[in-house]
Amino acid sequence: MTISAEPGRKKIVCVGSALVDMLANEDESFLEAAGAAKGGMTLVESSYIDDLVSKTSRDPVTVSGGSACNTAAGVGMLGGDARFVGKCGRDRLADVFEADLVRHCVEPFLFRSQAPTGRVLSVITPDAQRTMFTYLGAAAEMSPEEITPECFENAAVVHVEGYLLFNRELMMAVLEAARASGAKVSLDLASFNVVEESLDLLNRIVADYIDILIANEDEAFAYTGIEDEEKSLEALARETEIAVLKIGPRGSIIKCGREVARIERMGDGSAADTTGAGDLWAAGFLHSLVEGCSFSQCGALGSACGFEVCQLIGAKIEEDGWQRIRQLLAV
């Protein structure tokens, strides 16, 4: 099927926080010294990250990050037409962020701020768990006034990360402009705590603005209050054109009207790091969707992208992984 509002449109525009990922492999004692709970995410000041980086055993690897950015990078590497809309500073990290977007075949649509570029120090322990220290910086300053029709020019899909729900005025500006552009709107619910804290807003916007709703089991339960996956998916699908329920090691289910596609997971479930799995799943799914593939094909490519990113540290797939994924596209 195709979801383009106008024939020939295939651009996927991703909107979210422009954050630089700083990846550091350290042992448990590093986290103990930092007083951090393993596996969590803590909002911190920039100086706190500087202090932690000074104590790492080696310089962290630095790449562009943020949920929507990761999805855009996946679309670009699949050969799709991708644009990322976000806000960063005027510093060295902003240059790193923009250059990494270009390297992943993404068109940068970046607003600039005098505030420092946002960054996340991700400490990866030997058990593959990731503990994040996040400084939002300039990313938190993107304003509704900056969202113009040019952001979404020629878009087939506007994909919005759920974290924007925390900035309600910005979210509404994005949704209004995306709808006015004629694009379909995709929303990834991001995490169950985002859903819980934004439930009143979600109840207002999903039926009116969202065409593609993507959730995992925890997020779907937080939104619908229904544990049974079949009934939960049905509740999601009543309010949106396409509903996606990701069910962890059992794969995913996609529902559009009366059509239901069940997607098996890829691989044996092993993972070096699960960060970015959902973002890359969305990249494969949305890219296939604008290319007119069946839901089974869309889900299969999403699963392949999610699997490959879990086999390495960080939220970016390396070239050998992309080669395996492109072989699936060629079938």
Q: What is the full per-residue pLDDT of the chain (331 aa) written as tens digits?
A: 445 456 678 999 999 999 998 989 899 999 999 988 787 778 899 999 999 999 999 999 888 889 999 999 999 999 999 999 999 999 999 998 999 999 999 999 999 999 999 999 989 888 877 788 989 999 999 999 999 999 999 999 999 999 899 899 999 999 999 999 999 999 999 888 889 989 999 999 999 999 999 999 999 999 999 999 999 999 999 999 999 999 987 899 999 999 999 998 887 767 776 778 889 999 999 999 999 999 999 999 999 999 998 888 778 898 999 999 988 777 6
The residues near 29 (Cβ < 8 Å, ≥ 6 apart) are none
Reported in sequence order, the residue ranges of 26-60 that DSSP labels E, i.e. its strands, are 41-43
Cβ pair 263, 252 in contact under 8 A: yes
CA distance 260 to 262: 7
Pair of tokens at residue 94:
């902003």
Long-range contacts of 144-150 (CB under 8 A, 24+ apart): 144/169, 144/170, 144/172, 144/173, 145/173, 146/87, 146/111, 147/85, 147/173, 147/174, 147/177, 148/177, 149/177, 149/180, 149/181, 150/109
Q: Edge-to-edge strands of the sheet including 19-25?
A: 41-43, 130-135, 118-124, 19-25, 61-65
Expressed in angstroms, the distance from the first to the final Cα of the chain is 18
Going from the N-terminus, what domains does the chain have, and what CATH number goes with each? 11-18+67-115+141-330 (3.40.1190.20)
CA distance 215 to 148: 28
